[in-house]
Chain A
Amino acid sequence: MARRNSLGWPRIIALTLAALVATVLPLPDWLEILRPDFVALTVLWFCLLSPRMTGMFHAWGAGLVLDTFRGVLLGQHALALIVITYVATKLRLQIRAFPPLQQTAVILALLWLNEFLLFWIDGVSGHPITDWRRWLAVPAGAACWPLISGLYARIAARR
């Protein structure tokens, strides 16, 4: 178990790509509204687990690809993701020590910050979405956190 933290780039890229695909996978309408921001969750998990490997540049790159994927303003998701990555990396030692429920609460706050920044940029750039249902994805994402972090920990533990 000496090389526990050797989560190589192939695996990081594969997981990020999987998160991107999950973000645009066709879903029924009611489920689509609840779709968590998988890319934000993935980026958060990486910067909590192995901030030496990924961190800001990974978050920024993933955000840019996400912008292209969804056809929104280039740089929008990138900016939101680097801000939450910054906060999560700053607080990572505390967050990692938290019990699961408290950790989920922190993730909820970070996802809300992410969504708020996107909402703000939408508004400033003149494409506001004022539908209250856009905020439903935030608690849905936080609810997925225990599942996703458990799943990723399994994938990371495998050689």
Chain B
Amino acid sequence: MTPHEPDARPLLLGGPPLGLRLIVLAILSLGLMVADHRQNHLAVIRDWLSAVVYPVQWAVQAPLVVWNSARDSLASRARIESDNVRLAADNLVLRLKQMRYDSLEQENQRLRAARESSSRVVQRTLVAEIVRVDLDPFRQRVLVDKGSRDGVFRSQAALDANGIFGQVTRVGPLSAEVILISDPEHAIPVQVNRTGARTIALGTGRSGQLSLPYLPQNSDVVAGDLLVSSGLGGVYPPGYLVGRITTVGRDPSQPLLAVAAEPLAGLDRDPEILLVWFDSTVVEPEPTPAAKPASTPGDATGGD
């Protein structure tokens, strides 16, 4: 395949022997991996490297961005007008809801103040744009265009208009990596909205599916139930939509249910997400009479 090349230089390679180079570089790589695996040892190097590669990552998707903006600016007048009418109608509905929400929130805060517990609502948000690069087809992670220079921090919650999106796993100066709630290594504490039962929703690696493997056979869940974040763990603000239960698999031979849910956030379609700040000083739940479902993964081999 490669053409023969006449070359006066000796066939044997100069420099240090190949095996020695392999060993030295392999030890260096192993050292890096160990240092990187124990978080924060390499934070400075990683920051620096991510700042160096970020322009290239951004440039990869630049043609796409240009294409999209060109398409937008050439959009037909009729479509813009119809969009405008629709958005105005949406806005009216939302403002009506907002009026009710404002009064409800005030009432809620008064009640919480009476019970001396913190409200933990989102206080500040930052819109971050998703950089369109494929990091890994088997992990559900995305790169966003905001980093520590914008105040983004590790394990910050990310939302979109429909629900919870994920959390920040790695922060560089200019960019950050967000793990989606559907990543197989991600788990989010949730509450079934209808009954208040608490459990944990795990990612499956497919963007349209979450799994809830820790619900006992006798728990009251049906397809269509909404899942909201419970706020346990302090990463996510409580009370935000996470997903909707799609199937409930009751196999009497198993101790636990096989429940599947679909995330409500547009995990694979969102062009941008919201990074949120909220007051997470109170992380322990308020005592409720409802028994908390066992979330010990000891013999929970169910699910998939």
Binding site for B on A (CB under 8 A): 1, 4-5, 17, 20-21, 24-27, 29, 32-33, 35, 48-49, 51-52, 55-57, 60, 63-65, 68-76, 78-79, 82-83, 86, 89-90, 93, 96, 100, 103, 121, 125, 127, 129, 131, 133-134, 146, 149-150, 153, 157
Q: List 22 A-B contacts (CB under 8 A).
A: A21-B56, A24-B60, A24-B135, A26-B61, A26-B134, A33-B137, A35-B134, A52-B9, A52-B13, A68-B53, A71-B143, A71-B170, A73-B37, A79-B33, A82-B22, A82-B25, A86-B19, A89-B13, A125-B33, A146-B1, A150-B1, A153-B1
Which residues of the other chain, A, contact B60 by a CB distance below 8 angstroms?
21, 24-26
A70 adjacent to B29 (CB under 8 Å): no
Considering only CB atoms and an 8 Å cut-off, how many residues of chain B contact the other chain? Answer: 53
A73 adjacent to B137 (CB under 8 Å): no
B133 interfacial by beta-carbon distance below 8 Å: yes
B138 adjacent to A75 (CB under 8 Å): no
A26 adjacent to B133 (CB under 8 Å): yes
Main secondary structure of the interface of A (DSSP, over half): helix
B30 interfacial by beta-carbon distance below 8 Å: yes
A56 adjacent to B56 (CB under 8 Å): no
Q: Residue on A with the closest CB to B19? A: A86
Q: In the docked arrangement, what's the CA distance between A78 and B12, Å?
A: 25
B36 adjacent to A71 (CB under 8 Å): no
List of 7 A-B pairs having minimum Cβ-Cβ separation, nearest first: A75-B32, A79-B29, A75-B29, A24-B133, A75-B33, A74-B36, A68-B49
B40 vs chain A, min Cβ distance (A): 13
B26 interfacial by beta-carbon distance below 8 Å: yes
B177 interfacial by beta-carbon distance below 8 Å: yes
Q: In the docked arrangement, what's the CA distance between A49 and B61, Å?
A: 32
Which residues of the other chain, B, contact A27 by a CB distance below 8 angstroms?
134
Sample of 7 further A-B pairs with CB below 8 A, known A60-B29, A68-B46, A149-B2: A21-B60, A73-B36, A74-B32, A75-B29, A75-B30, A75-B33, A78-B32
A-facing mask of B1-18, CB < 8 A → 1, else 0? 111011101010110001
Which residues of the other chain, A, contact B22 by a CB distance below 8 angstroms?
56, 82-83, 86
B56 adjacent to A20 (CB under 8 Å): yes
Which residues of the other chain, A, contact B141 by a CB distance below 8 angstroms?
71
Which residues of the other chain, B, contact A4 by a CB distance below 8 angstroms?
5-7
Q: Residue on B with the closest CB to A56? A: B21
Which residues of the other chain, B, contact A76 by a CB distance below 8 angstroms?
29, 33
Q: Could you say which of A24, A29, A56 contacts B18, with CB atoms under 8 Å apart?
A: A56
Q: In the docked arrangement, what's the CA distance between A76 and B31, Å?
A: 11
B138 adjacent to A100 (CB under 8 Å): no
Given contacts A79-B30, A82-B26, contact A72 B136 (CB under 8 A): yes
Q: In the docked arrangement, what's the CA distance between A157 and B13, Å?
A: 22
B295 vs chain A, min Cβ distance (A): 20
